[in-house]
Structure 1
Amino acid sequence: MTEHDGCRDRPVSEPSCSTILKHLLESPKDFKVTVVTRTDSTATFPSNPKVTVKKGSYTDGPFLQEAFKDQDVVIFALHFMAQSAQIGMIDEAAKAGVKWIVPNEYAGDGMNKAMAEGVPVFVPKKQAREHIDELSKTHEGLAWIGVATNPFFEPKFLIKSSKIFGIDAESHTATIYPDGGAFNSSTMDRIGLAVTRMLSLPISDHSNSRASLQHYANNFLYVSSFCVTQKQILQTLQKAKGESEADWKVSEDKTIKQWVQECQEGLKAGNMQAGWGLTMCYYMGEGMGGNYQEKAEQDHKVLGLQEEDFEEAVKRALSA
């Protein structure tokens, strides 16, 4: 990684994780950012002397190599529909001499074998990391940094799509799984801040190896805003709305184990939505990998992050 006057160059491939760009630009480290986006993209980016926008094709090797030239880190934040281009883009980043790649993760704990193998949508994420591992054999110093976030905790997820947590805020119904447990969840702002502070660390620190980029080489950064259960989400939502248990119809008849079976059968029948349901099973099921609180606490200590106020986050979601 090239450093000069405390400034590092970071290309961001897509604005879907806009809070990363926001916090990079607000950082006292004075990052310079190159945004790589498609020629036909209508996305807009901040008018800022620290930002350079380069438009082209994600399959255009010469364009990508030029965009990635002299960059320290490539951060992938690709839309789901564009993820198939990631492997080829990683190849071009390696050819351009990039040493650090943050691949398209922003999901669960990729180091948890049961979760990584049990959730189909995690397969391409694992393949990307393995591809970088293979490239590192011929591109010295190349490494990946995964970012674990678990499900995003944002207004549209809590209110409009709250069924992902088994809670339907519009119909006042909820399914609480008795074999569920506490799981981590992250706000988008927390993700952007955590990634920025992690990239602000020195490459090595002999006094505290965890407080360095070398610790995160071929490893995960564990991001979390809070660690909660379904019941905590439901009770906090009820409190924020001034409602009582009597206003809701709550069922506890179904188990995560049953939901897993339903999702697996749905996938076999070609129902791709079942893949998202299966992901939530692993997030919320007790002992299935969705609780990485201990790892998150260790990372947050290094990055100077505190757990966010869950009640305030719910109130913000309701007022958004």
Structure 2
Amino acid sequence: MSSSNHIEKVAIVGAGGNSGSYMTKALLETGKHTVTAITRAESNSKFPEGVETKQVNYEDVSTIVDALRGQDALVITLSVFAHGQQEKLIQAAADANVPWVLPNEWSPDTDNAGLVKDIGAFQEKPKIREKIQQLGKSSYISVVTGFWYEWSLSIPLAYGIDSLKHEATLFDEGDVRISTSTWPQVGRAVAGLLSLPLQPEGDDKDRCLERFRNGLVYVNSFTVSQKDMLESALRLTGTTIDDWKITKESSSARYDAGLEAMKGGDRMGFVKLMYTRVFFPDGSGNFEQSKGTANELLELPKEDLDEATKAAIEMQKNSLW
């Protein structure tokens, strides 16, 4: 591990995935980090030039420990359906004495009791943070990003907008604002965070990882409503509101319908439940307002909403969901 005041060696689980690939790219671009992709032996993932790879067997935690020895930080990106893997990674990181862990957060605010109570997939996240502290070997930094903007907008069931069919379902009046991030912004946030000095340097006492030890970091691209997203889609498709079929649905009723569908084994019910909950008119989806963001400290750029919407429309065309 590095004896300097900076993180040098970063291991990433999911380095070839949706958000992980952007993290990998951004970390490499800093020129400050050696990046190691932690993969299964049977994985066919491709990585950029310069990425080291170490293969592991999740049924044999010792292989994960060996892969993590000497790493300064572990970044975990996993599917919401990858049950049990994160606990093994957390234990292995402790056994390998990895000092910093960015757990599988990348979500709306899981420090919000209402969201954690109502979205079952979020309930593991506070428990993982607690487990890291209990093990006492690693410190965590949980990066809260909101849902991924372009990915979510490309799924009509998620943000309620179908740019190809020119249809939109507004939850309540469609004016509740939520914090959301693009994949490139998530990548830049991780690279910016792990490029901070461990301890303060110079007069700026805030620009260090120590400030965020065992805490949550909030970053975003936009804090927008469904109406904002719809207006962006209108601009990108060259249409007017009269060209679209617009319906409205109670957010609470939509959440309840998703819950019932999920109980019946319908995964789409889970998507409906999870996404609708952040649009409740309780402010739970707007962490920029309630918690603030670290965008300025991490020197994250202001992004163009229409450019992100354009990416979402292309994703929908290519049926990435």
What displacement does 1:7 show? 5.8
Q: How far apart, in 2, do the equivalents of 1:316 and 1:281 lie?
A: 22
Letter in 2 for 1:274: G
Q: How far apart, in 1, do the equivalents of 2:280 and 2:262 lie?
A: 19
| Structure 1 segment 87-236 matched on structure 2, within 5 A | 87-136=87-136, 139=137, 142-154=138-150, 156-159=151-154, 161-178=155-172, 180=174, 181-205=176-200, 207-236=203-232
Report the equivalent of 1:290.
Answer: 285
Deviates more, 1:289-298 or 1:123-132: 289-298
Q: How far apart, in 2, do the equivalents of 1:297 and 1:13 lie?
A: 28
Residue of 32, 37, 40 corresponding to 1:38: 40
Q: How far apart, in 2, do the equivalents of 1:243 and 1:212 lie?
A: 47
Q: How far apart, in 2, do the equivalents of 1:19 and 1:165 lie?
A: 22
* Structure 1 residues 316 and 53: CA distance shift in structure 2, 3 A: same
What displacement does 1:119 show? 0.5
What displacement does 1:47 show? 2.3
* Structure 1 residues 168 and 319: CA distance shift in structure 2, 3 A: closer
Deviates more, 1:302-311 or 1:86-95: 302-311
Report the equivalent of 2:10.
Answer: 10
**Aligned pairs, number:** 310
- Superposed CA deviations along residues 269-316 of structure 1, whole A, max 9, x for unmatched, are 333322222211222222251101147754011111233111222234
Q: How far apart, in 2, do the equivalents of 1:179 and 1:246 lie?
A: 17
Letter in 1 for 2:246: V
Structure 1 or 2: larger helix share? 1
Residue of 249, 253, 257 corresponding to 1:262: 257
What displacement does 1:59 show? 2.9
Query: 8 Å contact 1:282–1:288 — kept in the other structure?
Result: no
Deviates more, 1:224-233 or 1:80-89: 80-89
What displacement does 1:201 show? 1.0
Q: How far apart, in 2, do the equivalents of 1:261 and 1:275 lie?
A: 11
- Superposed CA deviations along residues 95-140 of structure 1, whole A, max 9, x for unmatched, are 111111111111111111111121011122222212112112xx3x
Q: How far apart, in 2, do the equivalents of 1:7 and 1:269 lie?
A: 46
> SS at 2:158's partner residue?
helix
Report the equivalent of 1:24.
Answer: 27
* Structure 1 residues 133 and 33: CA distance shift in structure 2, 3 A: same
> SS at 1:301's partner residue?
coil
Q: How far apart, in 2, do the equivalents of 1:81 and 1:231 lie?
A: 31
Deviates more, 1:271-280 or 1:94-103: 271-280
Report the equivalent of 2:318.
Answer: none
> SS at 1:314's partner residue?
helix
Report the equivalent of 2:61.
Answer: 61
Letter in 2 for 1:24: L
- Superposed CA deviations along residues 17-41 of structure 1, whole A, max 9, x for unmatched, are 100000110004x201111100000
Report the equivalent of 2:239.
Answer: 243
Q: How far apart, in 1, do the equivalents of 2:205 and 2:293 lie?
A: 12
What displacement does 1:266 show? 2.4
Query: 8 Å contact 1:223–1:296 — kept in the other structure?
Result: no
> SS at 1:54's partner residue?
strand
Structure 1, unaligned runs of 5 or more = none
Q: How far apart, in 1, do the equivalents of 2:216 and 2:4 lie?
A: 26
Letter in 1 for 2:194: L
Q: How far apart, in 1, do the equivalents of 2:139 and 2:62 lie?
A: 22
For the aligned residue pairs, the C-alpha RMSD in angstroms reads: 2.1
Query: 8 Å contact 1:183–1:283 — kept in the other structure?
Result: yes
What displacement does 1:10 show? 0.5
> SS at 1:176's partner residue?
strand
Percentage of matched positions with identical amino acids: 29
Report the equivalent of 1:300.
Answer: 295
* Structure 1 residues 194 and 157: CA distance shift in structure 2, 3 A: same
> SS at 2:92's partner residue?
helix
> SS at 1:33's partner residue?
strand
Letter in 2 for 1:93: A
Deviates more, 1:92-101 or 1:279-288: 279-288
